[in-house]
Chain A
Amino acid sequence: MILIMAWRNIWRNPTRSWVVIAAIALGIWAAIFMSGFATGMMNSYVDGAISNIVGHIQIHHPSFQEDKETKYIISELDLLTEEIKNYNNLKAMSLRSIGTGMIASSKGARGIEIQGVDPDSEATVRQLDTKIIDGDYLNVEKRNPILISQRIADKLNVKIRSRVVLTFQDLEGEIISAAFRVNGIFDTKNNQFDEGHAFVLRSDLNRLLGADPNDAHEVGILLSEKEEIKNIVPQWASKFPSTKVEPYYIISPDLQLYESQMSSITMIYLVVILLALIFGIINTMLMTILERLRELGMLMAIGMNKVRVFLMIVLETFMLSFVGVPLGLLLGTLTISYFGQKGLNLSAFSESMQMYGMSDMVYFDLPAATYWQVPLLVGITALMASIYPAIKAIRLKPVEAIRKL
């Protein structure tokens, strides 16, 4: 009966109840929207970084990452690559030789990381071939081809087939220079990466470094399941102690920081939304109680105890939430689904987003847990919001309440 009374009570003033339901639904929608947007942004940044820069896992000589000296070549590379190739969750693998030096044209010079790659395997890890906006991808038939970014091309004032000179140290520490011809110009939409990297053939770079043609400084690995990183990294690390096996979030701690920052920001938004919701619900329920003073007094007069009165007020609040929550979830799910497929075009902020390595299209995504976490939080919020009005209700003195007009 209390359930029936609570349900009917909330429809005594349908307009007011719908306002609260709309506020709850809107709150949930806003929380889901914010969470979906933030996750989408995060994915854009992290996935962009994974596919353009780091991959899921990188393997180096233990000292290579400290100062990137070319002498730190990976040992036991054959055994290592064999092991990696046999791994079930391997999606792609690429071997890279790396030199740090200068790229120069007649118009200028810039510091750069030169990566010697095998075109086919690199395309599977970084999809570099799909980022070419002018010219062609690396071609093993050509002599000393190089891929540079649009930003470097602009700064060095070079174009396709222009000649650039790379200067770097070989394995002996000697400075060497070599001329390369621009074969293609790429744009990964990540300004930082584009300004700092150029790609040549691994065979060319190894020859110039004085290294064996099969040597590499880096193994870039892409897995079919991102979640497998935590399992496989320690396995490989223990099997090949003379190498350093690192997941992307260790190689680029900024990615982990960004992930946690986004979670914190989402949580802050959620708290703000829930706070607004609490006050909205408290206000409405207090008004409801104020309007029903005489009735509540009468209920206590005829024998409804305080626990039941308390329960009735809490139930009324809960029921408002129970109508609002599915509505909010439905709206939120539809929004996430729409923007998850079509994406939200933020091309107006394209410049600044690319500066941080993000695409200007944000595809919303939402961790599955959010679909129960948000309603649960709203439920807890509704419960908290109902407590004060319910306490006000049970503190009423029947005789005083009945006297009220």
Chain B
Amino acid sequence: MIIQTKGITKIYNPNKIPVNALNGVDLQIEEGEFTAIVGPSGSGKTTLLNIIGGLDQATQGEVLIKGENISKMPDNQLIDFRKNNIGFVFQAYNLIPVLTAKENVGFVMLLQNRSKEERDQRVLELLQSVGLEDKVNKRPSELSGGQQQRVAVARALAPKPAFILADEPTANLDSVSTNNLLDIMARLNEEEKMTFIFSTHDQRVIDRARRVITLVDGKIASDQVKS
């Protein structure tokens, strides 16, 4: 088991007007899953992803990644943990605007102190696998939304994380770019056994997912594994 959450509760503004974003979410995700977390706006999808990713802390409950409890980890340790174990793909791409595609992809590996040779080789492989080998020296502003998101996927994969969290990754993409991105992620999932967890509204993503977890009012309403 790669991810396990135990009774995750998240309450925003606990001292003012409390908002229960998550109400005791128990979840297990195995290595190699291609999982979509769906649900209406405000159901707690992004909050759950943020807590699993160690970007936010649960009010109650625990998150175990590869058996390690990250719920009480100090900030700096958590940053290191994220760097080595979790890949992020954001809705708004969030590439580093002053770096080229190649530099963006290699950035986390650089933070991991990997050698230049290793970085260069992996970055090239990844950019090839997302079909952007001809854009290595382009900055984000010179790339389309779809291309930027593919660079973001390559960046998330670069440090060889345990899994990738993608928050509404197709929300800003047209259908061609969406299908393209989903093809790439599905292939990486199948070929490299990379675990993907999406939060999404997008039916195209839901259709491609092999497991769909539906959140309603901060609780898991259904958990469907496709055959």
Closest to B107 in A: A1
Structural contact, B98 and A294, CB atoms closer than 8 A: no
**Within the complex, what minimum Cβ distance (angstroms) separates B53 from chain A?**
7
| A302, CB-defined interface residue at 8 Å | yes
A215-256 contact mask (Cβ, 8 Å, vs B): 1 or 0: 000000000000000000000000000000000000000000
Residues of B within 8 A of A333 (CB): none
Given the interface pairs A302-B155, A398-B55, A399-B50, the reply to whether A294 lies near B94 with Cβ below 8 Å is yes
Q: Inside 8 A of A302's CB, which chain B residues have their CB?
A: 82-83, 88, 107-108, 111, 155
Complex-state Cα separation, A294 to B55, whole angstroms: 13
Specify which chain A residues have a CB less than 8 angstroms from the CB of B55 in the assembled complex.
Answer: 301, 398-399, 402
Name A305's closest neighbour in chain B (CB-CB).
B79
Query: Total interface residues on A, using CB and 8 Å?
Result: 21
For residue B158, give the distance in angstroms from its CB to the closest CB of chain A.
Answer: 10
**Most chain-B Cβ atoms within 10 A of its Cβ — which of A9, A302, A308, A398?**
A302
- Whether B56 and A298, one on each chain, are in contact in the complex, defined by CB atoms closer than 8 angstroms, is no
Cross-chain contact A305 with B159 (CB below 8 angstroms): no
* Cα(A298)–Cα(B103), bound, Å: 15
Known: A294-B94, A295-B94, A402-B94. Contact between A306 and B83, CB under 8 A?
no
* A8 interface neighbour in B75, B83, B98, Cβ under 8 Å: B98
Q: Counting CB contacts under 8 A, is A367 at the interface?
A: no
A-facing residues in B161-202 (Cβ within 8 Å): none
A102 within 8 A of B: no
B97 at the interface (CB under 8 A from A): yes
Q: B76 near A5 (CB under 8 angstroms)?
A: no
CA distance A295 to B103 in the complex (A): 15
Assess whether B84 is interfacial by the CB under 8 Å rule: yes
Q: In the bound complex, do residue A306 and residue B79 qualify as a contact, i.e. CB atoms below 8 Å apart?
A: yes
Q: Does B99 interact with chain A (Cβ within 8 Å)? A: yes
Q: For B103, what are the chain A residues with a Cβ–Cβ distance below 8 Å?
A: 1, 4
Q: Which residue of B lies closest to A10 (CB)?
A: B98
Q: Which residues of A contact B75 (CB under 8 A)?
A: 306
Task: From the candidates A304, A399, A402, name the one contacting B79 in the complex (CB within 8 A).
Answer: A304
The distance from the CB of A381 to the nearest CB of chain B, in whole angstroms, is 26
Task: Give A400's nearest chain B residue, CB to CB.
Answer: B56
Cα–Cα, bound, A399→B90 (Å)? 11
Write the nearest CB–CB distance from A138 to chain B, whole angstroms: 77
Question: B98's contact among A5, A303, A306, A402, by CB below 8 Å, is which?
Answer: A5
Question: How would you classify the secondary structure of chain A's contact residues: helix, strand, loop or mixed?
Answer: helix
Q: Indicate whether A300 reaches chain B with its CB closer than 8 angstroms.
A: yes
Q: Does A107 sit within 8 A of B, measured CB to CB?
A: no
A344 touches B (CB below 8 Å)? no
What per-residue 1/0 map shows which CB atoms of A301-328 lie under 8 Å from chain B?
1111110100000000000000000000
Closest to B77 in A: A305
Q: Please judge, given known A-B contacts A303-B79, A303-B159, whether A294 and B92 are in contact too, CB under 8 Å.
A: yes
Bound-state Cα–Cα, A33 to B107, Å = 45
A298 partner residues in chain B, CB cutoff 8 A: 88, 90, 94, 96
Complex interface: chain A residues within 8 A of B53 (CB): 301
- Interfacial chain B residues near A8, Cβ < 8 Å: 98-99
Bound complex: CA A85 to CA B90 (Å): 87
Which of chain B's residues have a CB closer than 8 A to the CB of A308? 111
- Interface contact A299-B56, CB-CB below 8 Å: no
**Any chain B CB within 8 A of the CB of A12?**
yes
Cβ of B223 < 8 Å from any Cβ of A? Answer: no
* Contact call B110/A1, Cβ cutoff below 8 A: yes
| A residues in contact with B83, CB < 8 Å | 302-304
B30 within 8 A of A: no
Specify which chain A residues have a CB less than 8 angstroms from the CB of B76 in the assembled complex: 305-306
Question: In the complex, A399→B21 CA distance in Å?
Answer: 15
> Which residues of A, 10-54, contact B by the 8 Å Cβ criterion?
12
Cβ-based interface call for B207 (8 A): no
Contact status of A303 and B96, CB under 8 A, knowing A1-B107, A298-B90:
no
When chains A and B are docked, how far (Å) is the Cα of A302 from the Cα of B155? Answer: 9
Interface pair B82/A12, CB less than 8 Å apart: no
Chain A residues 377-405 with CB under 8 Å of chain B are 398-399, 402
Chain B residue at minimal CB-CB distance from A5: B98
Q: How far is the CB of A9 from the nearest CB of chain B, in Å?
A: 6
Interchain CA distance A304-B56 in the complex, whole Å = 16
Contact check, B92 vs A303: say whether CB atoms are below 8 A apart.
no
User: Is B142 an interface residue when CB atoms closer than 8 A count as contact?
Assistant: no
* Residues on the B chain within 8 Å of A1, using CB: 103, 107, 110
Please tell me if the beta carbons of B56 and A402 are within 8 angstroms of each other in the complex: no
B79 touches A12 (CB 8 A): no
Residue of B nearest to A394 (CB): B75
> Does A305 lie within 8 Å of B80, measured CB to CB?
yes
Residues from chain A with a CB closer than 8 A to the CB of B80 are 303, 305
> Are B88 and A301 within 8 A (Cβ)?
yes
The 9 A-B pairs with the shortest beta carbon distances in the complex, nearest first, are A303-B83, A8-B98, A399-B55, A298-B94, A399-B56, A305-B79, A399-B50, A303-B111, A1-B110
5 contacts between A and B (CB under 8 A): A295-B96, A300-B79, A301-B53, A301-B55, A303-B108
Further contacts, 6 of them, CB under 8 A, given A5-B96, A302-B83, A302-B88? A5-B98, A295-B97, A304-B79, A304-B83, A305-B111, A399-B50
